[in-house]
């Protein structure tokens, strides 16, 4: 899964990548910093704790991302 979402405070879109075939679980913030995780559950928890719908230009896309992440438990 690859997902992009545009934050209000950055020139670049935030990006979430879950690549189970290659063991890549990462995200990129609007300021181009990134985070790497050991599994999709850790990535999902980090997003829940650090990103919020009002941070993004389209809060519905944030909800869409969270819905997609629910498949990973």
- Report the distance separating Cα 60 and Cα 8, nearest Å: 14
Domain chopping of the chain, boundaries: 2-69
Q: Is the pTM for the entire model greater than 0.95?
A: no
Enter the tokens of residue 24.
């890549």
Which run of H or E residues covers position 44? Answer: helix 40-50
pLDDT digits (tens, 9 = 90+) for 12-25: 999 999 999 999 99
**Average pLDDT of 64-72?**
93
- Report the distance separating Cα 67 and Cα 38, nearest Å: 20
């Amino acid at each position: 899964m690859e997902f992009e979402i545009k934050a209000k405070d950055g020139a670049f879109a935030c990006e979430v990548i879950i690549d189970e075939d290659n063991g890549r679980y990462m995200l990129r913030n609007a300021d181009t910093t990134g985070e790497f995780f050991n599994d999709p559950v850790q990535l999902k928890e980090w997003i829940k704790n650090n990103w919020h719908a009002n941070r993004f230009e389209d809060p519905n896309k944030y909800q869409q991302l969270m819905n997609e992440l629910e498949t990973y438990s």
